Amino acid sequence: MLQVIACDDSRDFLKLLVTILGEYEEVYNYELKEFQDGKELLEYCKTNPFDIVYMDIEIGTSNGMDLARTLKKINPKSLTIYISAYDTYYVRMANAEPFRFILKNLQDIYKFKLELVDTLDAAYRRVKGKDIWTYFYKNEQYKIEFNKIKYFFSFARKVYIISTEELEQDFFYGKIDDIQEILEESDDRFVRINNRTIVNLTFTRMKGRKKAVIGNKEFTVSPEYKENFKERGSKYWGRYWNIL
């Protein structure tokens, strides 16, 4: 069962947040916890599992972005969704790895609810590995879950999908640059390591300073992608990210 947390220092808004999220506990099979204080939230997360966290960017005297960075270290795979009445935090937010941002819009509760439920569905699919990559070959559509993709490899205008299962169609025509752009907007597990390859961090480790390893296969990490690969891997795996 997933663990979802709602945290806001406004009692009235927290009540609204919990009421809306509570409507979907059975739909997505999760347990909902609520906190009005950032320090209490942190103490809880140190000793309890958590998957998805909805929080205000400012929680009393606590900085929500600092708190989110700490939570990410405790559980690198957790997702944070910021909720704020202000939209001036985007630059600082980028360094705290938010999954989504929702503007507090209490003038239109219906719209706020739609955005909240949309992020809940997206976060659920991400945590459960239900995000889907859709591609086409000869006018036929094919799909594969992101969590089954080990890496994408480009060769001669074809992009091959190497996965944990045998695919009916394992390549499509496309550009690795376009795939990188799409993935960077939708899933932080995927990172480019050279001109031809995008890997899924779930399956990947570093070997020395110039190699990426997936199973028994080694890839050269190009100099222009090395620092990003190392940084993204450290953020995704936290203390579990080791150089082999």
Phi, psi (rounded to 5 degrees) for 138: 50, 50
On the 0-12 / 13-18 / 19+ scale of CB atoms within 10 A, 96 is buried
Identify which has the larger pLDDT, 131 or 44. 44
Q: pLDDT tens for residues 160-212? A: 999 999 999 999 999 999 999 888 766 778 999 999 999 999 899 888 878 99
Domains and CATH numbers, the chain: 2-127 (3.40.50.2300), 132-240 (2.40.50.1020)
Q: pLDDT tens for residues 96-117? A: 556 777 878 778 888 888 888 8
Residue 133 and residue 54: Cα distance in Å, rounded? 26
Amino acid at 219: F
Closest CA to 17 of 43, 37, 35: 35
Mean pLDDT (the chain) is: 85
